[in-house]
Amino acid sequence: MLELKNINKHFGDRHVTKDFSCKFDQGKTNLIIGESGSGKTVLLKCMVGLTQVDSGEVLYDGKDFIKMSIREKQHLRTEIGMLFQGGALFDSKTVEENVIFPLAMFTDMTQEQMLERANFCLERVNLKDVNHLYPSEISGGMKKRVAIARAISTSPKYLFCDEPNSGLDPKTSILIDKLIKEITLEFNITTIVITHDMNSVMEIGDKVVYICNQQKWWEGDNKTILHTDNKELNDFIYVSKFLRELKEKQA
Amino acid sequence: MEAIVKSFFFHTGRYFLMMRQVFSKPEKFGVYKKEFFHEVDNLGLNSLPIIAIISFFMGAVITIQAAYGFTSPWVPIYAVGFTARQSMILEFSPTMVSLILAGKVGSNIASEIGTMRVTEQIDALEIMGVNSRAFLILPKIAAFTLINPFLILISMFLGVIGGWIMGVITHVVTSYQYQTGIQYQFDPGNVTYALIKATVFAFIIASVSAYHGYYTDGGSLEVGRSSTKAVVYCSILILVFNFLLTQLLL
């Protein structure tokens, strides 16, 4: 389980996260939604230590990440998988080498075992015959799937996804969402997804946290979110004329 | 002025803090070894053609210019070969070739690491628990510091050969006179001095370029800026250390 307590973060005079507290459960896909510039990605980077928090606690199974030594942090990070917005695959390595990389770095597996594991992970994300291609030779959706395969190769306890659907068509987006959901259930991991895609919220949102004005504004799930009377959240969800009309018809 | 002093101490401090991380214990020796050999090929062997061409023709030009300048009957003609050898060993090969490599290898390292930074590849390494500074920079420093003295030796050899061939072809010196000149008062200590300079310059090129690449912040424009900064700072540091080492070793 991952818990955030009173997280605060400033960039100069600008407050990007105000007193954010939340619990994210194991075996569930936890979504953080909000408008662009609301501080979602900064919050995610604070959780994994890529950005230093000004104050607050980031508790991984009760242990504060911020107070850990560099070695302890490095050890914990071997239990973390992360899917970046652009995939962040290593350009100089093939798809197979990308997936094998964390295994080669942190396990004592033989080359055959690593290959077997890489093939399993690639098959798990429905990728075949791409092992020897470079990231520049595959599509955006495939890059995301390779990044998921790399993230799950070491069987992480925590999976962080930063806007996994950005730049993808609706069909591929739903495929990626379903994949994240399936992997979360299959490996019983704590998954945190940053998104502003309402399709993702409805598809996989076991828990949904809405950030507005740099703080937690609403918390619930994909069943309750459509019936909320929270004005800001409704403005966010029903931003298009089509959805507003649909809601009015349903009402 | 105050801002320049502050900036100097900020970057110097951050550079040494980075180097402390770079020289920490590798997570997996085998993975680093593979990266090391990759960098030997990428930074060292790929630089060989440009070094060979430049050194050969520079040796030729030094020979022709020396012959043009030595008009006094008191200066023996074999001094042409002696001048070509001394110029290549003492200054051209270790310093000028390193300055050229600061442009080629320095910009390569800075742009490669800078691109990794702006495309979040370095963040991905950190998230995996990899010491990104050590993983990305240590193999480059080790490989280039090891391979550069060999490149400089090849440069010296090709420069002297270039002077010989072109000197004979253009009839400014005979083969015998040139051979006499290049053997005249040969001091192996000069080669040692040149190789020490080559090693120090290689360390400067790899580490300073890596520093500028690693701390790139922004997008593709900043990658270009980091690459330019890397070449400028490497060149300045090479010239400063060239003076210091010459003062210390000769």
User: Given B31, B119, B130, which is nearest A88 (Cβ)?
Assistant: B119
Give the whole-angstrom CA distance, residue B110 versus residue B106: 6
- For residue B66 the two structure tokens come to 């020396």
B203: distance to nearest CA of chain A, Å? 24
B40: distance to nearest CA of chain A, Å? 15
Residue at which a domain ends, from A129, A155, A181:
A155
- For chain A, say whether B126 makes contact (Cβ under 8 Å): yes
Give the number of domains in chain A. 2
In a domain, A85, yes or no: no
- For chain B, say whether A84 makes contact (Cβ under 8 Å): yes
Whether residues A151 and A161 fall in one domain: no
Pairing of strands A63-64, A14-24: unpaired
Phi, psi values for residue B173, rounded to 5°: -155, 150
Contacts with B, A 120-149, CB within 8 Å: none
Whether residues A199 and A166 fall in one domain: yes
Residue at which a domain ends, from A155, A182, A200:
A155
Mutate to test the interface with A, among B39, B127, B130, B136 (most CBs of A within 10 A): B127
Chain-chain contact of A104 with B115 (C-beta, under 8 angstroms):
no
Domain boundaries, chain B: 29-249
Whether residues A184 and A211 fall in one domain: yes
Q: With contacts defined as CB-CB under 8 Å, which chain B residues touch A156?
A: none
Chain-chain contact of A76 with B123 (C-beta, under 8 angstroms):
no
Whether residues A12 and A108 fall in one domain: no
Whether residues A209 and A184 fall in one domain: yes
Whether residues A75 and A96 fall in one domain: no
> Per residue in A204-220, is it b (16+ CB within 10 Å) or e — as a string?
bbbbbbbbbebbbbbeb
Q: With contacts defined as CB-CB under 8 Å, which chain B residues touch A74?
A: 129-131
- For chain B, say whether A104 makes contact (Cβ under 8 Å): yes
Whether residues A162 and A242 fall in one domain: yes
Q: With contacts defined as CB-CB under 8 Å, which chain A residues touch B119?
A: 86, 88, 91
Query: Is A216:A32 a contact under the CB 8 Å cutoff?
Result: no
Whether residues A162 and A67 fall in one domain: yes
pLDDT in tens, B152-161: 999 999 999 9
**Burial grade of A232 (CB within 10 A; 0-12, 13-18, 19 or more):** middle
Q: Domain range for residue A138?
A: 92-155
Whether residues A14 and A61 fall in one domain: yes
pLDDT in tens, A47-97: 998 899 999 999 999 899 999 988 888 888 888 999 998 889 999 999 999
User: Given B31, B119, B127, which is nearest A105 (Cβ)?
Assistant: B31
Query: Is B134:B103 a contact under the CB 8 Å cutoff?
Result: no
Q: With contacts defined as CB-CB under 8 Å, which chain B residues touch A89?
A: 121
Q: How would you write the pLDDT of chain A (251 residues) with one tens digit per residue? A: 899 999 999 988 888 888 999 999 899 999 999 888 888 888 999 999 889 999 999 999 989 999 998 888 888 888 899 999 888 999 999 999 999 999 999 888 999 999 999 999 998 888 888 999 999 999 988 998 899 899 889 889 999 999 888 878 888 888 888 889 988 998 899 999 998 888 888 888 899 999 988 889 899 888 888 888 888 888 888 877 777 777 777 76
User: Given B31, B124, B130, which is nearest A88 (Cβ)?
Assistant: B124
Chain-chain contact of A75 with B131 (C-beta, under 8 angstroms):
no
- For chain A, say whether B131 makes contact (Cβ under 8 Å): yes
Give the whole-angstrom CA distance, residue B153 versus residue B194: 9
Of the pLDDT bands very low, low, confident and very high (cuts 50, 70, 90), residue B204 is very high
Return the closest-CA partner of residue B66 out of B49, B50, B79.
B79
DSSP letter for each residue of B94-131:
IIIHHHHHIIIIIHHHHHHHHHHHHTTHHHHHHHHT--
Beta strands across the sheet bearing A14-24: A14-24, A2-11, A55-60, A63-64
Work out the end-to-end distance of chain B between its first and last CA atoms, rounded to an integer number of angstroms: 35
Chain-chain contact of A105 with B30 (C-beta, under 8 angstroms):
no
Residue B226: per-residue pLDDT: 96
User: Given A50, A90, A106, which is nearest B129 (Cβ)?
Assistant: A106
In a domain, A127, yes or no: yes
In a domain, A87, yes or no: no
pLDDT in tens, B122-152: 999 998 889 999 999 999 999 999 999 999 9
In a domain, A146, yes or no: yes
Chain-chain contact of A102 with B128 (C-beta, under 8 angstroms):
yes
Chain-chain contact of A50 with B127 (C-beta, under 8 angstroms):
yes
Whether residues A73 and A162 fall in one domain: yes
Residue at which a domain ends, from A101, A129, A155:
A155
- Which residue in chain B has the smallest CA separation from A76? B129
Return the closest-CA partner of residue A78 out of B28, B68, B114, B90.
B28
Return the closest-CA partner of residue B197 out of B246, B247, B154.
B246
In a domain, A84, yes or no: no
Q: With contacts defined as CB-CB under 8 Å, which chain A residues touch B117?
A: none
Whether residues A169 and A228 fall in one domain: yes
- For chain A, say whether B49 makes contact (Cβ under 8 Å): no
A90: distance to nearest CA of chain B, Å? 6
User: Given A75, A86, A104, which is nearest B120 (Cβ)?
Assistant: A86
B1: distance to nearest CA of chain A, Å? 24
- Which residue in chain B has the smallest CA separation from A88? B121
Angle in degrees, CA B98, B100, B103, rounded to 5: 110
Is this prediction's ipTM beyond 0.90?
A: no
Beta strands across the sheet bearing A158-162: A80-83, A158-162, A190-195, A29-34, A207-212, A215-220
Give the whole-angstrom CA distance, residue A76 versus residue B80: 66
- For chain A, say whether B17 makes contact (Cβ under 8 Å): no
pLDDT in tens, B23-67: 998 888 999 999 999 999 999 999 999 999 999 999 999 999 999
Whether residues A169 and A243 fall in one domain: yes
CA distances from A231 to A210, A212, A227, A236 (A): 12, 11, 11, 9
**Burial grade of B221 (CB within 10 A; 0-12, 13-18, 19 or more):** exposed
